[in-house]
Structure 1
Amino acid sequence: MAEWASEISRRTLIAGAAATIGYAGAADSIPPRRRLLPPDFLWGTAISAYQSEGNNTNSDAWIAENVRPTLFKERSGDACDSYHRYPQDIAIAARLGFNCYRFGIEWARIEPSDGHFSYAELDHYKRMLEACHASGLKPVVTFNHFTTPIWFAARGGFEMSDSPDLFARYCGKLAEQLGGLMHLATTFNEANIQQLIQVMPGMSGAQAAARPMIAAAAKATGSSRFSRLAYADPAIATPLMQAAHRQGYDAIKAARPALSVGLTLTTQDVQPVGPESLADTYRERLYGSWVEVARSHADFIGVQAYTRILVDATGPVGPPPGAELTLSGYEYYPRALANTIRWAHATIAKPIYVTENGIATRDDARRIAFIDEALAGLRECLDEGIPVHSYLYWSLLDNFEWTSGYGVPFGLAAVDRQTFARTLRPSALHLGAIAKANRI
């Protein structure tokens, strides 16, 4: 299996390089004066189960994207077919020079009905973890990346008082069965996603806009209280998700005491504009009491930065006139990474892992520039003595970007929607060369 995967990856790398006209040699593209990083620094990519695996028919997101009305521009369908093609994806990551692979495990596959666990699916993810180790990649595993089983959503999701117990039960089972193969684990991806929706310009109406879709999903499942994590009422769901994280953390530690368990947050750079700015108020709204949760129940903090949020005396405002925008609609601002690393260090004071950072663009030269500028900021943070231990780019592949569908390419590799062929972009070789040199 390893020999076959290596050959597939080699052909993919050659094809990607051959398609690049005028691209300088990867090793030669790194300027000579760079900071050498510790040998255990993690380089890699991040990906989620639902966005890449395909045909996750037992997940709440599948219901939401297939009902009408829906906020989803298109259906996920086969996605990248990574459920079957994970050996190829892992081999590509290893051949590029990465030493880490962050991926998610889909709760809906592991626990397809309340209290009933699929050992066949546990075996599937065990093979995936073993494939990482065979390729020299340290697995960083996300236990929940926005999606939940349909049965969990239909009973009220994280708006039900016993939801922390159910999440902790899942975490304990996963850690017991697979935790020994994990390098790092995180409970929730971007645990404060509901708060981001409330403060990010252009997103503040998302929860209201989602109500007809949620009502349609409730009808489709015969439920009167269907609830999706990202669109749940923050006043109800946030304290329950915080309890779920704490209980999940404890359950993982009970099964695997040596496994390092962290919490990832969406850490966009909140900046003041003009006099009497409300930046501090909106920064508090974005993070709130998740800061205290991270301080008490996390071995590390996962920073996931993409842009900045400008706040004046009235609240969040859009990007400045003439600012470059990414295909996600927000400002191109790679320096947000360094600023949010500094915030996390000063506020939470735990080891920091960059678990996501990236850009949606069809101009790969801008992706390379974004990566270089973000890494320049990361180097400054290291020079300041901040304990940063990883850089994981989002993402390896162009995958299903939730309500935006397939129109916002974040990937180091493009994916053909019919053949699933992976074609590496120059940015993949560029970041891989930096990872191999372990210098920034």
Structure 2
Amino acid sequence: MRLRLSVMVVSVMLAGLVCRAPAAEAAVPSLGPDFQFGVAQAGFQSEGYNRDSNWVRYGDEGKVEQKVGNSVDFYHRYAQDIARAKSLGVGIYRTSVEWSRVQPSPGRYDEAGWTFYDRVVRAIVDAGMRPMITLNHWVHPGWEVDRGGWNRPGMADDMVAFGKRVVDRYQWADPLWITFNEPTEYVRRELMYGATRPQNAMRMVDGIIDSHRRLYRYIHSVQKNAQVSSNIAYFPVPGLGNWLEGLFPERLRGSMDFIGVDNYYSVSATDLSTTNAITGDLWKATQAPESIYYVLRHLAQRYPGTPIRIIEAGMAGSPSGVRPDGYRRGDHLRDTVYWIQRAKQDGINVVSFNYWSITDNYEWGDYRPRFGLYSVDVQHDPTLTRRPTDAVAAYREITRAHGVRAGYRPTRLPVPCSLVSVPDSCTHPAVVR
């Protein structure tokens, strides 16, 4: 394995030496008034006051470092956070409906749980934003765990029944729909925590695909001009990354109205710091914002003619708020949007971008990584005060101008031969214009 990796790295570095950058062209144009900016969050990660679920149990059982507790208390502060999003000038607000909150036991739906989401969806619409609703963001009820979870073929039927209830209740708001958040990562984590048995991994994969397809058809039957998809996590691992990415999208062809993608990290032959993401020290992984350009270009080639929505993108901040490399959230946001504009300039049909996340939240067993436009110190500030980062002002400028200002130049130059897309990034490297 070491020999293969060494050969790969040397090959990539040599390719980087021989590739030539194309001549500079005209300045990057704005994304235009039709491009949609948004913010994103997940119910379990932000709401608090959660009901029994697989992830509540992971905390209680010590399978993750920290319990979720009451997170940033979106449950009581949703109106203020939605107002903050409105003040940014964004048009999309992504969140999820927690299955366990509305169906705390088999066959019983709780009106109080529905009322909470009624208020959230109404507040988003009244603020002039379009909801993007995720039906499953890696969390399912504890009673489903007791039944066997995704080890049991009937799990798909239960998921579809729940999803249909959500769709019936909120189709009036004309939401964008994400059926399953990062389904490959959902499967991986259920395997990692022992919830899905290894011999049943493909049963879970098949169940998710079956659920998605059935929900796709149902949503289109009740909501005119519906937009439905799943979002894939783009892993910057040569070969393996393409396999992980393709596990679901290739089998979902024909049931995706857009390609939804999440992108956070890059890796190159000269910078392997992304390995810090494996240890949990996410803020020590250096950022190469041009990776989003390579991701978009790859997806446009793989799924020609299908619109692309960036469902999640952002940067991990440290617990202290200062990254070791000094990269500021506002600069990273501007740099990322610049590369989205470059992709658009090259004819790639990217139509929206969501920033993860509106506030800091529970990062799946850990409150240390900070991803929020608004910082919240869950561990040390009992008031859970939302404090704006420098990215808040940056995002307002971006939404007003439909992109970064004319003549903007990224604060980080592209790295040679990004392993996000090899050999394409070596033969056709990203170029600042």
Bin of the TM-score, shorter chain as denominator length: 0.7 to 0.9
**Which residue does 2:402 correspond to in 1?**
438
2:340 is the alignment partner of 1:369: no
Q: Please list every run of 5 or more consecutive structure 1 residues that lacks an aligned counterpart in the other structure.
A: 1-32, 198-205, 212-225, 271-278, 312-316
Question: Does the residue aligned with 2:76 lie in a helix, a strand or coil?
Answer: helix
When the two structures are superposed, what TM-score results if normalisation uses the length of structure 2?
0.78
2:86 is the alignment partner of 1:94: yes
**Which residue does 2:9 correspond to in 1?**
none
Instruction: Describe the shift of the 1:310–1:158 C-alpha distance in structure 2 as closer, same or farther (beyond 3 A).
Output: farther
Q: 5 Å matches for 1:270-285?
A: 270=237, 279-280=238-239, 282-285=240-243
Given that 1:396 and 1:413 are in contact with CA atoms closer than 8 Å, whether structure 2 keeps it comes out as yes
Correspondence for 2:149 among 151, 157, 160: 157
AA aligned to 2:331 is: A
AA aligned to 1:333 is: A
AA aligned to 2:211 is: A
Given that 2:191 and 2:201 are in contact with CA atoms closer than 8 Å, whether structure 1 keeps it comes out as no
Q: Deviations over 1:148-205 (max 9, x none)?
A: 01111221222211222111111111111112214311101112215777xxxxxxxx
Given that 1:176 and 1:256 are in contact with CA atoms closer than 8 Å, whether structure 2 keeps it comes out as no
**Which residue does 2:309 correspond to in 1?**
353
Identity of aligned residues (%): 28
Correspondence for 2:114 among 99, 117, 122: 122
**Which residue does 2:103 correspond to in 1?**
111
Which shifted more, 414-423 or 363-372?
Answer: 363-372
**Which residue does 2:351 correspond to in 1?**
389
Q: Tell me how large the CA RMSD over aligned residues is.
A: 2.8
Q: Tell me how far 1:34 sits from its aligned partner.
A: 5.4
**Which residue does 1:37 correspond to in 2?**
31
Given that 1:35 and 1:379 are in contact with CA atoms closer than 8 Å, whether structure 2 keeps it comes out as yes
Give the distance between the partners of 1:259 and 1:118, measured in 2 at CA. 27
Given that 1:164 and 1:247 are in contact with CA atoms closer than 8 Å, whether structure 2 keeps it comes out as no
Given that 1:48 and 1:145 are in contact with CA atoms closer than 8 Å, whether structure 2 keeps it comes out as yes
Instruction: Describe the shift of the 1:342–1:159 C-alpha distance in structure 2 as closer, same or farther (beyond 3 A).
Output: farther
Q: 5 Å matches for 1:316-355?
A: 318-319=272-273, 327-328=282-283, 330-349=285-304, 350-355=306-311
Which shifted more, 356-365 or 97-106?
Answer: 356-365
Given that 1:326 and 1:332 are in contact with CA atoms closer than 8 Å, whether structure 2 keeps it comes out as no
Give the distance between the partners of 2:40 and 2:399, measured in 1 at CA. 15
Given that 2:275 and 2:285 are in contact with CA atoms closer than 8 Å, whether structure 1 keeps it comes out as no
**Which residue does 2:24 correspond to in 1?**
none
Q: Tell me how far 1:123 sits from its aligned partner.
A: 2.5
Which shifted more, 329-338 or 84-93?
Answer: 329-338
Give the distance between the partners of 1:115 and 1:260, measured in 2 at CA. 29
**Which residue does 1:7 correspond to in 2?**
none
Instruction: Describe the shift of the 1:71–1:336 C-alpha distance in structure 2 as closer, same or farther (beyond 3 A).
Output: farther
Question: Does the residue aligned with 2:249 lie in a helix, a strand or coil?
Answer: helix
Q: Tell me how far 1:411 sits from its aligned partner.
A: 0.7
Correspondence for 2:376 among 415, 425, 430: 415
Given that 2:31 and 2:344 are in contact with CA atoms closer than 8 Å, whether structure 1 keeps it comes out as no
Which shifted more, 408-417 or 86-95?
Answer: 408-417
Q: Tell me how far 1:408 sits from its aligned partner.
A: 0.5
Given that 2:94 and 2:132 are in contact with CA atoms closer than 8 Å, whether structure 1 keeps it comes out as yes
Question: Does the residue aligned with 2:282 lie in a helix, a strand or coil?
Answer: coil
**Which residue does 1:22 correspond to in 2?**
none
Q: Deviations over 1:179-236 (max 9, x none)?
A: 2214311101112215777xxxxxxxx945x34xxxxxxxxxxxxxx549xx995333
Instruction: Describe the shift of the 1:348–1:190 C-alpha distance in structure 2 as closer, same or farther (beyond 3 A).
Output: same
Give the distance between the partners of 1:110 and 1:340, measured in 2 at CA. 36
Q: Tell me how far 1:369 sits from its aligned partner.
A: 2.5
Instruction: Describe the shift of the 1:112–1:253 C-alpha distance in structure 2 as closer, same or farther (beyond 3 A).
Output: farther
Give the distance between the partners of 2:151 and 2:117, measured in 1 at CA. 29
Q: Tell me how far 1:328 sits from its aligned partner.
A: 4.7
Question: Does the residue aligned with 2:134 lie in a helix, a strand or coil?
Answer: strand
Q: Tell me how far 1:310 sits from its aligned partner.
A: 6.0
Give the distance between the partners of 1:114 and 1:253, measured in 2 at CA. 27
AA aligned to 2:182 is: E
AA aligned to 1:108 is: S
**Which residue does 1:268 correspond to in 2?**
235
Question: Does the residue aligned with 1:91 lie in a helix, a strand or coil?
Answer: helix
Give the distance between the partners of 1:322 and 1:259, measured in 2 at CA. 39
2:205 is the alignment partner of 1:241: no
Give the distance between the partners of 2:276 and 2:108, measured in 1 at CA. 54
Q: Please list every run of 5 or more consecutive structure 2 residues that lacks an aligned counterpart in the other structure.
A: 1-26, 405-433
Question: Does the residue aligned with 1:269 lie in a helix, a strand or coil?
Answer: coil
Q: Tell me how far 1:254 sits from its aligned partner.
A: 2.7
Instruction: Describe the shift of the 1:241–1:232 C-alpha distance in structure 2 as closer, same or farther (beyond 3 A).
Output: farther
Instruction: Describe the shift of the 1:256–1:414 C-alpha distance in structure 2 as closer, same or farther (beyond 3 A).
Output: same
AA aligned to 2:232 is: L
Q: Tell me how far 1:269 sits from its aligned partner.
A: 3.4
Q: How many residues align?
A: 366
Q: 5 Å matches for 1:197-212?
A: 207-208=191-192, 210-211=193-194
**Which residue does 1:379 correspond to in 2?**
341
Question: Does the residue aligned with 1:304 lie in a helix, a strand or coil?
Answer: strand
Given that 2:96 and 2:136 are in contact with CA atoms closer than 8 Å, whether structure 1 keeps it comes out as yes
Q: Deviations over 1:71-100 (max 9, x none)?
A: 322111110100111000000111122222
